Structure 1
Amino acid sequence: MTLMETKDVLALSASIFTVLQFLAGVLVCKKYIRNGTTGDSSCLAFITCFMSCSLWLRYGVLIGDLFIVSVNIFGTVLQICYMIIYILYSVKGPTIVKQFIVAICFVLLIYFYSIYQEDKVLAAKHIGFLSCSLTVLFFASPMISLVQVIKVKSTESLPFPIIIASMIVSCQWFAYGCLLGDQFIQIPNFMGCVLSGFQLSLFLIYPSKRTDQASYFI
């Protein structure tokens, strides 16, 4: 298998797992619909993922990478759907709408910059840096629960399937970034590997009951 074939196979596999990771939000939204409310849950993950996918989409266009473009078109559309559902079932609807509008305006501002920036290489570097930063933030979002995990010595509040998916996706995109020699793909996914690995280690330190583990997949 040539290097080009290896990159394509790896990128295809990473894209498939990334799509599956994005689809994990369906379970979250299903819970919102079933309960009739979003409760105390935060929309930070949805907003962060929306901005991340949108910027990676533009970065993929700038560097001419079909895999990055394709997976992030899907991710962007899906996150918009998730946000609509969140807004419909949130008691803080108007506030969430304002936050989402700010996120959209930020993304549009970056798009306008990249379109009117004559130096496309420089534009790709700037958008790559922003995409990298947002992806690290997205991977780190479950870390908010760590204080509670350590306090109660239970990993019940951690989304085990999502963390596993993040680990798999991060490793694959990191390897793909290494093959491309693209530091903007390498750095956030290396951080994703580290953060996911740390969160998974907590399941060994503070093992949940079997019933708790099973509840993650319901």
Structure 2
Amino acid sequence: MDVLRFVCGVLGNAVSVLLFLAPMTTFKRIIRSRSTEQFSCVPYMGTLLSCSLYTWYSLPFVSPDNLLILVISGIGVVIELTYVLIFITYAPKKERAKIMGLSGLALILFITFAFVSLFALHGKTRKLFCGIMLNIFSTIAYASPLSVMMLVIKTKSVEFMPFLLSLSCFLSGIFWFAYGFLSRDPFLMVPTGLGTGFGIAQLILYAVYCKNQSRAKKGIRDELREMDLEKTDQSDGTGLPRLSFNASSKH
């Protein structure tokens, strides 16, 4: 059972790294266009807070023998913090103020959580408190893609919900749920079980609306082709606009 638990943890780490890196294409697009467009920072803020809580929960004085979670959650903190900073850099002024406000709130919550668990609680009580808080905020983090899912339903397009991100979310939830189950740790099972469910929901939405995206792209290509044909009709062999004269022209 310990070996199987270790294997699930290693696989969970591998998939979680892919999950953290999946939005890189999105952020390349943001940096290239110097705009956050319709992308939402909420999922990344939620993931950053969740990773911070997982890092604290897996520390030896809170929950021993969780080195694999400590490693991947620490990596997640660094990556998600980078994403949030990119959003702050390229978001519109109003959106930037909102992101910074949420970041400040998240920082205050984490510091309060850490101080209470470190100085006011001990032993099993500390783990219970940290586990409950982890479940609350991790549930919010796992539910944060709901905003993106609602956008998909509204626009009937998966343009702003990358497939790799949805797939990685699903696989990560599966492996970490198994890890929590084998560890007999309900504080790991609850949020990862919810994460698995939301991952399944995202994959279903992708299957439903991915065809619409293909049609939309085809429509854009057809429009561009028609525009090219119109330009060709309005030009002579030299590529210059064709001049037309009506019957009443004197010259």
Deviates more, 1:100-109 or 1:203-212: 203-212
Task: Give the equivalent residue in structure 2 for 1:40.
Answer: 38
RMSD: 2.3
Query: How far, CA to CA, are the matches of 1:81 and 1:147 in structure 2?
Result: 25
Identity of aligned residues (%): 27
Once the two structures are superposed, residues 42-71 of structure 1 have per-residue CA deviations (whole angstroms, 9 ceiling, x without a partner) of 211121111100111010011121111111
Query: How far, CA to CA, are the matches of 1:67 and 1:175 in structure 2?
Result: 14
**How high is the TM-score relative to the length of structure 2?**
0.76
2:132 is the alignment partner of 1:129? yes
Q: CA deviation at 1:124?
A: 1.7
Task: Give the equivalent residue in structure 2 for 1:30.
Answer: 28
Match of 2:5 among 4, 7, 12: 7
The answer to whether the 8 A contact 2:36-2:91 is kept is yes
Deviates more, 1:166-175 or 1:98-107: 98-107
The verdict on how the C-alpha distance between 1:155 and 1:33 changes in structure 2, with shifts beyond 3 A counting, is closer
Q: How does 1:1-218 map to 2 (within 5 A)?
A: 3-61=1-59, 62-64=62-64, 65-92=66-93, 93-151=96-154, 153-208=156-211, 211=214
The verdict on how the C-alpha distance between 1:95 and 1:18 changes in structure 2, with shifts beyond 3 A counting, is same
The DSSP-based 3-state class of the residue aligned with 2:40 is: coil
The answer to whether the 8 A contact 2:50-2:138 is kept is yes
The answer to whether the 8 A contact 1:58-1:111 is kept is yes
Once the two structures are superposed, residues 134-157 of structure 1 have per-residue CA deviations (whole angstroms, 9 ceiling, x without a partner) of 222222222224445445544444
Query: How far, CA to CA, are the matches of 1:68 and 1:111 in structure 2?
Result: 18
Query: How far, CA to CA, are the matches of 1:17 and 1:78 in structure 2?
Result: 14
Return the index of the structure with the highest Cα Rg.
Answer: 2
The DSSP-based 3-state class of the residue aligned with 1:63 is: coil
The answer to whether the 8 A contact 1:174-1:190 is kept is yes
Q: How many residues align?
A: 212
Deviates more, 1:59-68 or 1:25-34: 25-34
The answer to whether the 8 A contact 1:17-1:169 is kept is yes
Structure 1 residue runs without a partner (length 5+): none
**How high is the TM-score relative to the length of structure 1?**
0.86
Q: Which 4+ runs in 1 deviate beyond 6 A?
A: none
